[in-house]
Amino acid sequence: MPFVASGDPGSLSAAAATAFRSAYGADPAVVGRAPGRVNLIGEHTDYNGGLVLPVALPHATYAAMSPRNDDVVRIASVEESTPWEGTLASLSSASGWAAYAAGVLWALRSAGVPVPGVDVLVHGTVPLGAGLSSSAALECAVAVAACAVAGVSLDRALVVDACIRAETEVAGAPTGGMDQTVAMLASPGAALLIDFTSGASSDVPLPLADVALLVTDTRVTHALNDGGYAARRADCEQAAAELGVPTLRSASLSVLASITDERVRRRARHVVTEIARVSDVVAALATGSWSAVGALFAASHASMRDDFEISCPELDLAVSTAVAAGAIGARMTGGGFGGSSIAVVPSADVDDVADAIDAAFAAAGFRAPQHLVAEPSGAAGVVP
Ligand code: GAF
């Protein structure tokens, strides 16, 4: 039952600096840090003007960076084998993993932040391709470091926008903004309720004295730029257009019957019911009722499996096994098509639930999963 350790920020920052020295021959000027995230509830609602309730993980990405005195940009990673080298003029044509980092530098410069040529070295503990927002963690860590290198004070809203642009326009993943927002605005001990119509966000303290948030990475790699995510988004936009509303946030269940295409109608039903479930989870948390949260998790998972069709056998097995082994509730989390599940588990039972999932995966012939415990953590920043 391997648990993925978050690592200690001081040691990870020092390790990033050491890797920077061996790649570039000098100390970095600054190290930026940004967390991964797990979403408690509110899936595929962000690009529909809806509500989401993510939590920043203690697992984070670190970006060591130094300015250069020319327009060259070099980006390398401890975790990725292929470094990227280009110039300030070629940032927006980067591809692969480095597109997220180069794209942020491009977007910041487009927003007027005077980022010079830089050397960048990335290192971290956010599991890659696990639906835990390693992309946004990379973007935000690079952005925070780049703002420091450029000598501008950290404007968190500007960074969120730049990271969304990088992901959408350079990396080619038309995502909704939840991941970047929580990475930049999260508070320790709380989930972040974000309203993507008003733009408002607020902390929702999590009563975690007796329960833990167990995250299981199914190791079914999930990618947001391979078509499935964009297809779901297109269905939602079609539904909103047919209903004559700006986003599905303005739709109610009763009007969905008029949507002609059965698949599009189911997609819209997921979004409308999921937005309501976010409000219901916030209300349940206010009274400390994890059992009510568990029931909402079950409904959320069924909606993603049946109406939105973004689950997979591994996610379904992780969820059903967690509940059978004592979890109060479980659901798939993140963009779907693989990635991770989240379970609310009595603290004393975390090891047993993780063991049960491991055994079920082995019996099904699935790849061994990985687990981590999501302790709600704080937002991105420069490592002191
Ligand atoms: C991914 C996206 F990046 C988010 O914007 C969000 O849509 C999520 O999938 C699904 O809720 O993480």
> Residue ranges per domain, the chain?
9-202, 206-373
Owner of token pair 């995966």 = 361
Give mean pLDDT, residues 290-314.
98
Q: What is the pLDDT of residue 354?
A: 98
Model pTM score: 0.97
Instruction: Indicate if 206-373 has the same CATH topology as 9-202.
Output: no
Q: Measured in angstroms, how far is the CA atom of residue 331 from the centroid of ligand 1?
A: 15
- Token pair recorded at residue 14: 């020092």
CB of 334 sitting under 6 A from ligand 1: yes
For residue 176, the ligand 1 atom closest to its alpha carbon is 5
Residue 311: which residues within 8 A CB-CB, separation 6 or more? 301, 304, 305, 332, 336
Give mean pLDDT, residues 148-171.
97
The pairing of beta strand 190-195 with beta strand 201-205? antiparallel
CB of 349 sitting under 6 A from ligand 1: no
- Token pair recorded at residue 211: 């329960």
Among protein residues, the one with the nearest Cα to ligand 1's atom 5 is: 176
Report the chain's mean pLDDT, rounded to a whole number.
97
Tell me: pLDDT of 69 over 80. yes
- Token pair recorded at residue 159: 């960074």
Check if CATH label 3.30.70.890 holds for domain 206-373. Answer: yes
Q: Measured in angstroms, how far is the CA atom of residue 70 from the centroid of ligand 1?
A: 36
Q: Measured in angstroms, how far is the CA atom of residue 117 from the centroid of ligand 1?
A: 31
Please, what's the b/e burial string for 280-303 (b: 16 or more CB within 10 A of its CB; e: otherwise)?
bbbebbeeeebebbbbbbbbbbbb
Please, what's the b/e burial string for 336-356 (b: 16 or more CB within 10 A of its CB; e: otherwise)?
bbbbbbbbbbeeebbeebbeb
Write down the ipTM of this complex.
Answer: 0.99
Q: Tell me the DSSP string of 137-203.
A: HHHHHHHHHHHHHHT----HHHHHHHHHHIIIIIS-----SHHHHHHHH--TTEEEEEETTT--EEE
SS3 of residue 286 by DSSP: helix
CB of 167 sitting under 6 A from ligand 1: no
Cα angle for residues 97, 102, 108 (degrees, 5° grid): 140
Q: Which residues are catalytic?
A: 179
Give mean pLDDT, residues 103-116.
98
Give mean pLDDT, residues 292-309.
98
Among protein residues, the one with the nearest Cα to ligand 1's atom 1 is: 335
Q: Measured in angstroms, how far is the CA atom of residue 37 from the centroid of ligand 1?
A: 11
CB atoms within 10 A of CB 40: 29
What is d(CA 47, CA 196) in angstroms, rounded to the nearest whole number?
A: 7
What is d(CA 260, CA 243) in angstroms, rounded to the nearest whole number?
A: 10
Q: What is the pLDDT of residue 93?
A: 96
Owner of token pair 């379904």 = 316
Among protein residues, the one with the nearest Cα to ligand 1's atom 3 is: 175
Give mean pLDDT, residues 119-127.
97
CB of 176 sitting under 6 A from ligand 1: yes
CB of 41 sitting under 6 A from ligand 1: no
Q: Tell me the DSSP string of 314-383.
A: HHHHHHHHHHHTT-SEEEEESS-SSSEEEEEEEGGGHHHHHHHHHHHHHHHTPPPPEEEE-------EE-
Tell me: pLDDT of 142 over 90. yes
SS3 of residue 33 by DSSP: strand
Q: Measured in angstroms, how far is the CA atom of residue 45 from the centroid of ligand 1?
A: 8
CB of 178 sitting under 6 A from ligand 1: yes
Give mean pLDDT, residues 75-87.
96
C-alpha 366, offset from chain centre = 24
CB of 175 sitting under 6 A from ligand 1: yes
Mutational test site, ligand 1, from 46, 235, 249, max ligand atoms within 8 Å of CB: 46
Q: Tell me the DSSP string of 191-238.
A: EEEEETTT--EEEEE---SSEEEEEEE------TTSSHHHHHHHHHHH
The pairing of beta strand 72-77 with beta strand 118-124? parallel
Question: CATH fold of 9-202, please?
Answer: Ribosomal Protein S5; domain 2 (3.30.230)
Q: Measured in angstroms, how far is the CA atom of residue 177 from the centroid of ligand 1?
A: 7
Mutational test site, ligand 1, from 41, 43, 44, 52, max ligand atoms within 8 Å of CB: 44
Give mean pLDDT, residues 344-350.
98
